[in-house]
Structure 1
Amino acid sequence: MSVLLCSALLACCVIGIASGKPQKGQGRITATKGLKKLTVGIVGDYGWTGWNPANEYFCNEIKPIFAANNITLPREVQKDCDASDRSVIHNATALQTSTSNYIGQICAMKNCSAFISVGDNFYDSGVDFTTTGINRFQEAWVDMYAQGIFEYTPWYQCLGNHDIVQGQAGVDFETKLAPLYDDRWYFGTEGLPYYTYDLVGHDWTATFVVLDSDCFIDKYQKDTSPYNNNYTISCHQDTQTQVDFLAETFANSNADWKFLQLHHPMLSSHANYTELWPLISVVEQHNGVVLNGHDHCAAHYYGNNTNFVLSGAAGFPDLVDCNYGVPLGPYVKFLGSNSKAAANGFVTMEISSKELVFEYYIRNMQYDGGDLYPVKNDMQPSYSFKVKEHAW
């Protein structure tokens, strides 16, 4: 190797360290501190790649026979026979790939310092500590988000309903094992499904509380629900623990900005989850912001004096979830949908001491066959809003 090449490589390394770029392989990666402005990408409902559902013959012919003979199928097998999800798997896989590339482009342009997940990281039945689970984690996340801006950028993760189909085993994989598998995958320091973290700038601090909203959903307690398992039954009996965790964390934080990061929506164009009110009331008391997914589209809602940022469009979009682009009331500020299709995309958030700037990046889908959502210039935000009043 020439002296000139050695010098060039050394210079690159020094520049990387001086810029505060996280160094992979040195333990858990977290976002860079001390910036005047820090940009994050908010991503949800994305993990379709690598899902191989149960074969059609079993789902259509054998499953009814088992049911007739009172044979109970494992929850993950029930979910993998979901007809609606099976019908979109090929398109969903392609759309996740295209959208991940799009997110990488936008975040390289905006220099994202972190990604914030709002859940449903692995369709259709999550991952666990099995060969299948390990391979899915590698294909659907490690390899999918590996190049460019993704390579050294932390992901502050969150559980969604598809992530908990495997019960405690699935939760343990994402909260305890995945952070050891890939140090970009962050799930707190206690191995719990709820945690808090701070992003710290030059003259500002932002406190995030990540909760598992699956524990609050009443219909998941029904025997017929694929999400009814040892984990959801147990945590549903103790939702107060998470409510108290949120209240205490916000009360003890002097941060300029406070966020609740979870999967299910309190406000929605498709299904409101009113069981989440104990959490939302805490957010309202502290003038916080809610970041959520679950609905497969992008939207902005404002209600109960609170901004709700929906970013669930990184995988397979569903125009029903954004009500065909038709606002249902004055609380709907933006819907990433038209009468033909919901759009793929995600949301960026720029944090500074002065304000929060949310920008909704919607991918041009005019070329995607039946998913027609043309965007004139998808390297520019399709919608944006600002929050200037600090948290209390």
Structure 2
Amino acid sequence: MPAMSRIALTLGLTLGAAVAAPNSIPAPTAAEHMTLALLGDYGWTGWQPLPLEFCKNVLPKLQSAGVTVPKEIVNDCDPGDRLAIGNATIEERRTAKYIEKVCLKKDCAAFVSVGDNFYDSGVAFHSEGINRFYEGWANMYVGKAFEGKRWYQAIGNHDVVTGKAGVDFQTRIAPLMDDRWYFGPENKPYYSYDLKGSDWTATFAVVDSDCFVNSYQKPDSVYNTDYVIECHKDKQTQVEFLRKAFAESDATWKILQIHHGFLSSSTNYTELAPLIDIVRENNGVVVNGHDHCMAHYESEGTNFVLTGGAGYAQAGDCNNGVPLGPFTKWLGASADQAANGFVTLDISSKELLFEYYARDMKMKGADYYPVANDMMPSYNFTVTKHATKGLHN
């Protein structure tokens, strides 16, 4: 990312205590059932890695000289992500079109994102950030299936690399740029929302899991930014927010929407236990991303839905298709490739039906993840046990 050429807009983030205008797209409602699209880890398009000459030769000199180098510059030299950008951009664009096809068929009412909206180092309120918002999202997810549909957003680790400025851009500025982009009525990284049918209600609570990850508090972590340091100190606020949101809800279903996975085939973020305990107390479900693959895990009666296949898919994040332990119910990966795709959620009073749509990944003359009929789900499961009622009942 050509950080040297960034031109910060003089408006900056000087909104002070001002709150962005309310989203003009109303929350969807349904009769007997509603279909949602669950996705994340998608925002590669528009990212330009820093020149190799700078990363190999200049950056080490700056660091040796004691120059404070912004986290986003260090992260934009990541060699693995540099290698991934070509395929990642192709995969994201093709998966966006695939999501549109499936959602036209299933009539998706809204989109639920689990974060990592912009690689490699997020966006902020400057010329480049604005351009990336349009190229990587607003002009990417277009078509009838996406028109006038809310995107219930979340923050991921790549979104916090630019610190508070980047988080404020996504939560406060972006909703004013596109009505679909939603971060709650108060434009915070954590919020809750209710979706309703004729005889059911689903309460979703969004929490920023970056604030709970202990490794991000290490000074050498690219995620150790002003925002993450501050919210880690105040992480109990989000725990109590979740507890209150679920305790006061009489919803039929309760769902926690976060970025990192408590259970994983890659890295288990056990620091999230205080949040998961609340989910279990309420017979809830967890929807998350971070690992670049799709999977279903179940432990102690709680289901964990991993949606992270909408951008660059990585087989290793799903242990190359080999289950780890009895908690692994399904992995959207083979020995060599993880599937691109997303998950749909059909909500009714009777059940939550999760369907995993894996895309047939034909690219450059090869089929990297063959799917016989990718307009049908590769895997599905249902949740029938209703959430516990709120405390005031």
Q: Establish whether TM, by shorter chain, passes 0.5.
A: yes
Matches within 5 A, 1:212-361: 212-361=208-357
Residues of 1 paired with 2:327 and 2:154: CA distance?
Answer: 25
- Pairwise CA distance, 1:144: 0.2
Decide whether aligned partners of structure 1 residues 151 and 34 sit closer, same or farther in structure 2, where only a CA change above 3 A counts.
closer
Shift of 1:259: 0.4
Equivalent residue letter for 1:85 = D
Shift of 1:32: 2.2
Distance verdict in 2 for CA 1:269–1:184, change over 3 Å: same
Structure 2 CA distance, aligned partners of 1:296 and 1:305?
Answer: 24
TM-score (norm 1): 0.92
Task: Write out per-residue CA displacement over residues 330-365 of structure 1, whole angstroms, 9 at most, x where no aligned residue.
Answer: 110000000111110000000001111000000001
What TM-score do the two structures reach when normalised by structure 2? 0.92
The residue that corresponds to 1:102 in the other structure is 98
Residue correspondences, number: 368
Aligned to 1:70: 66
Is residue 2:158 matched to residue 1:167?
no
1:131 paired to 2:133: no
Write the distance in 1 (CA, Å) between the matches of 2:309 and 2:292.
5
The offset of 1:305, in angstroms, is 1.6
Given candidates 178, 185, 188, the residue that maps to 2:181 is 185
Tell me the alpha carbon deviations over residues 295-328 of structure 1, each in whole angstroms, 9 at most, x when there is no partner: 0000000013200000000000000000000001
Q: Is the 2:254–2:284 contact (alpha carbons within 8 Å) kept by the matching residues of 1?
A: yes
1:56 correspondence with 2:91: no
Please report how far the alpha carbon of residue 157 of structure 1 lies from its aligned counterpart in structure 2 after TM superposition. Answer: 0.2
CA–CA distance in 1 between the matches of 2:36 and 2:208? 21
Q: Shift in Å at residue 34 of structure 1? A: 3.5
Q: Which runs of 4+ in 1 moved over 2 A?
A: 25-28, 366-371
User: 2:86, 2:365 → 1: CA distance?
Assistant: 13
Structure-2 change in CA distance of 1:156 and 1:27 (3 Å): closer
Structure 2 residue 213 is matched with structure 1 residue 209: no
Question: 1:194: which partner in 2?
Answer: 190
* Aligned twin of 1:18: none
Does the 8 Å CA contact 1:291/1:309 hold for their aligned counterparts? yes
Q: CA deviation at 1:151?
A: 1.6
RMSD, matched Cα: 1.3
The residue matched to 2:145 in structure 1 has which SS? helix
| Contact 2:194–2:201 under 8 Å retained in 1 | yes
Give me the whole-angstrom Cα distance separating, in 1, the residues matched to 2:284 and 2:179. 29
Residue number in structure 2 paired with 1:80: 76
1:26 CA drift (Å): 9.7
CA contact (8 A) 1:29 1:186 kept: no
Match of residue 391 from structure 1: 387
Mapped contact 2:288–2:307 kept (Cα < 8 A): yes
C-alpha distance in 2 between matches for 1:305 and 1:258: 14
Look up the equivalent residue of 2:176 and give its one-letter code.
Answer: L
Residue deviations 1:182-239, cap 9 Å, x none?
0001100112110000001111000000000000000001111110011000000011
Structure 1: runs of 5+ lacking an equivalent = 1-24
| Aligned AA (1:39) | T
Is the CA contact (8 Å cut-off) linking 2:111 and 2:152 kept in structure 1?
A: yes
**Residues in 1 aligned to 2:94 and 2:201: alpha-carbon distance in whole angstroms:** 33
Residue 153 of structure 1: CA displacement? 1.0
**What are the ranges of 5 or more consecutive residues in structure 2 without an aligned counterpart?**
1-20, 389-393
Gap change, CA 1:329 and 1:370, over 3 Å in 2: farther
- Percent identical among aligned pairs is 57
Q: Give the letter for the 2:39 counterpart.
A: V
Q: Contact (CA 8 Å) 1:340, 1:371: kept in 2 or not?
A: no
Q: Given that residues 342 and 371 in structure 1 are in contact (C-alpha distance below 8 angstroms), is that contact kept between their aligned partners in structure 2?
A: no
Cα shift at 1:90: 0.9
Bigger drift between 96-105 and 357-366 goes to: 357-366
Give the AA of the match of 2:312. F
1:262: Cα distance to partner? 0.4
